[in-house]
Amino acid sequence: MKKFCESKVSNEIGDCNSFANWIIYVSFKEVYRFGLRIEKEKRNDSFSQTLAVRQLTGSLTSAEGLRFAIVVARFNEIITKPLLEGALDTFKKYSVKEEDVDVVWVPGCFEIGLVAERLGKSRKYQAILCIGAVIRGDTSHYDAVANSAASGVLSAGLNSG
């Protein structure tokens, strides 16, 4: 480590005693090798530790035989439709078959909890995903709808097991 601390690059970085500074040194070394100049960048230890961790994606469990439901609000569809598409893509990424996912559209966020509870009580699904969007406006309508939707989803989870 002392060798790194005596170099021009590490003097710009500062103390070379921590793992974070060693990683910054390596990145500066590569930049200087190509003749580029960048500003000093301070990194905290938790960030540098995540750089050293290999990240694997995939499913550790099999989704075979599991059924899922997605309850989606039509109101603010410009927001809820892309969220639904992302959810379906994620299910697909984890090898959930299309026929194992049921999508139920409801008029608005207020109805999400009611439908989610009924689906949960049917015991047909292992998980129910609720998607809705309430946009804050100038009135107190947002607070009433958002609170009702949140408590409806909570109640559905508690009442349907």
Is 141 assigned a catalytic role?
yes
In this prediction, residue 62 has a pLDDT band, given cuts at 50, 70 and 90, of confident
Task: Report pLDDT digits (tens) over 79-126.
Answer: 999 999 999 999 998 889 999 999 999 999 999 999 999 999 999 999
Strand (E) or helix (H) holding 131: strand 127-131
In this prediction, residue 138 has a pLDDT band, given cuts at 50, 70 and 90, of confident
Tokens in use for 85?
């598409």
- Collapsing DSSP to helix, strand or coil, 6 comes out as coil
- Rounded to two decimals, the pTM is 0.64
Per the CB < 8 A criterion, the answer to whether 5 and 16 are in contact is yes
What is the spatial distance between Cα 29 and Cα 119, in angstroms, rounded to a whole number?
57
Q: What is the mean pLDDT of the chain?
A: 76
Give the mean model confidence (pLDDT) for residues 33-42: 43
* Residue 59 CA to its chain's centroid (Å): 16
pLDDT surpassing 70 at residue 73 = yes
The fourth-level CATH superfamily of domain 68-160 is Lumazine/riboflavin synthase (3.40.50.960)
pLDDT surpassing 80 at residue 149 = yes
- Look-up: residue for tokens 């070379």? 16
Active-site option among 141, 143, 151, 159: 141
Q: Where are the domains of the chain?
A: 2-51, 68-160
